[in-house]
Each structure stands twice: as structure tokens, then as C-alpha cells.
A and B are shown apart, each in its own frame.
Chain A
Amino acid sequence: AQSVTQLGSHVSVSEGALVLLRCNYSSSVPPYLFWYVQYPNQGLQLLLKYTTGATLVKGINGFEAEFKKSETSFHLTKPSAHMSDAAEYFCAVSDPFGNEKLTFGTGTRLTIIP
């Protein structure tokens, strides 16, 4: 069975500061990894994903994440936070050899301090 742990249900950063949202996974095989963002009263939107190839993945809105197999991590970063980044962020995994379903972490709510 797969599982995802997101450390920190709430993270606050100042505008212009580094954003770091943590994600660790547990899986018997290296999974596919995703970060989704959810703005208030909206559905989820894909930020980026890792399937194969380069372990540093760049996504939309200046976000990037690095797959580290040895650490079973897929942390999300952005060098400089904008007010518009305030949202809830979900890390998710899927099994490359199984069902297509996504298993989500519990989410991290990001607040940007002006």
C-alpha cells in the first residue's frame, strides 16, 4: 500500500521568501509523484509531476520539486513567494504498475505574509 506524508498542515512565509513544502512517500516501488494546488472553492490543478527521467521537475507558476529516491521525498519549492501562491497544496502518488488512482497527502495550507 502507498501512503503520503506532508509535514506541516499550515505553512506561512513572507512575500518574496523561499517556499518549501515537504512530502514523503511510502511505496514498495518508486511511484509516480504529483503536486496539486487548490484555490478556495475550486478543484485541484496540477503544478508538476514526476514519472521518469530527470529528478528535478519544473512546474507552473515558478514551482519545482526534486524526486529523491534515497530519502523517499518529493519536496516542493519556489524561490520567491507571491501573494497569489496562497492556497492549499497536495502531494499525491500513483502506482506505476497498478490502479490509476491517486493517493493524496493531507495537504498543506500556504499563507503568504505581506
Chain B
Amino acid sequence: GAGVSQSPSNKVTEKGKDVELRCDPISGHTALYWYRQSLGQGLEFLIYFQGNSAPDKSGLPSDRFSAERTGGSVSTLTIQRTQQEDSAVYLCASSPRGARGEETQYFGPGTRLLVL
């Protein structure tokens, strides 16, 4: 079946602009995660959605970052007033239930963001 998809695959923006990154999880997966992969910081957790529960936003680096998940499926990560240090690959993952961390997370191909 279809895996996790992300769009756009690449995004170039100017410093100070807002960007939206989209993630379509695997159908039926209730848990959705966003991670960031950058040269300086490696792979970092950003935010986690599980069903209708309040999201865990503990990994968001600043209040310029926000995310939502509509209808328990598609998620959008928004970065406001982008900075050059936001340049990274943003990875989305989903898992069937997000049950106590033992499940496999299935990753999308990522969105490569470059802030000029």
C-alpha cells in the first residue's frame, strides 16, 4: 500500500517568509510524528499527534513552529518568519497506534527546506 507522503519535496524560501509542509500518513495510522534532520543537530523530535489527544509539542524549537492535524489524518507543519537555521530536512512518520513506543514508525521521504 501507499507509504507516508510529504510535500513539497523541496522548498526554497527567503528569510522571514512563512512556509507550510504537508504530511499524509499511512491510511489508518493514528499516530503521527514530525522530526527535523539537520547537519548541526542530527535527527530531532518536533511534535507527536496521537488520535484525538492533545499533541506533544515538547520538541518544537520556538514559537515560530506550529503543527496541526486535521481529521486525524493529514498534518501541516508551519514555520513562521523563517530563519536560516531552519534549513533542514523535515521528516514525517506515522505508526498504527503509537502504543508505548514499541511500534515501528514509517517515515516519509522528507521535505528539504532551504532558507536563503
Contact = CB atoms under 8 A, between A and B. Distances in A.
B50 A100 contact: yes
Contacts of B43: 90, 92, 102, 104, 107
Contacts of B105: 46, 102
A91 B96 CA distance: 21
B42 A101 contact: no
A43 B48 contact: no
Contacts of A34: 104
B45 A103 contact: yes
A97 B100 contact: yes
B101 interface: yes
Contact of A100 (B31, B35, B91, B110): B31
Q: How large is the interface on A (under 10, 10 to 19, 20 to 34, 35 or more residues)?
A: 20 to 34
Interface string B54-96: 0010110000000000000000000000000000000101010
A103 B4 CA distance: 20
Interface string B25-65: 00000010101000000111100101000001011000000
Interface of A: 31-32, 34, 36, 41-46, 49, 51, 90, 92, 94-107
8 contacts: A46-B104, A46-B106, A94-B101, A99-B101, A100-B103, A101-B48, A103-B45, A105-B42
Interface of B: 4, 31, 33, 35, 42-45, 48, 50, 56, 58-59, 91, 93, 95, 98-110
